Amino acid sequence: MAKRSTGKRSAPAKRIDEALEVLASLNVPREQQNERSALVLLALLGMTPRKKWSAATNPMLGITEMMDVVRDQFGKKYAPNTRETVRRFTVHQFVQMGLLVANPDNPRRPVNSPANRYQSPY
């Protein structure tokens, strides 16, 4: 993937571009190299537009909480009915790739539980 220009772009746009570069460097499938996946990655690393990468954290978040972080920190509003899209087309793939662990606090939690949480194993 070609590097994107970060010249006069906003801090959130630059951070999204950086997250896209991270996804590409991890050889994430092209289907997950998109803005939604970049924003999910940023949320699950506790990143903000101006926070240094070295200060990344490891929060445990549910899908709605991820979407709240994306809205509050990056200004991208997803409609509530897109939770399933985020779960099926980004989070599920991240779990399969080993980038996320589902329910590290309770691995026996049912897949369809509204209490599902995800966290990076790193």
What confidence tens digit (pLDDT) does each residue in 81-119 have?
999 999 999 999 999 999 999 999 999 999 888 899 999
In the predicted model, what is the mean pLDDT of residues 35-59? 97
pLDDT classification of 40: cutoffs 50, 70, 90:
very high
Note whether residue 4 is domain-resident: no
Chain centroid, CA 71 distance in Å = 12
Distance CA 49, CA 110 (A): 34
CATH number at residue 33: 1.10.10.1820
Note whether residue 25 is domain-resident: yes
| Cβ pair 35, 16 in contact under 8 A | yes
Which domain, by its residues, includes 20?
11-106+113-119
Note whether residue 3 is domain-resident: no
- What 8-state DSSP symbol labels residue 118? E
Q: Is the pTM for the entire model greater than 0.85? A: yes
What confidence tens digit (pLDDT) does each residue in 55-91 have?
999 999 999 999 999 999 999 999 989 999 999 999 9
Note whether residue 5 is domain-resident: no
Q: How many domains does the chain have?
A: 1
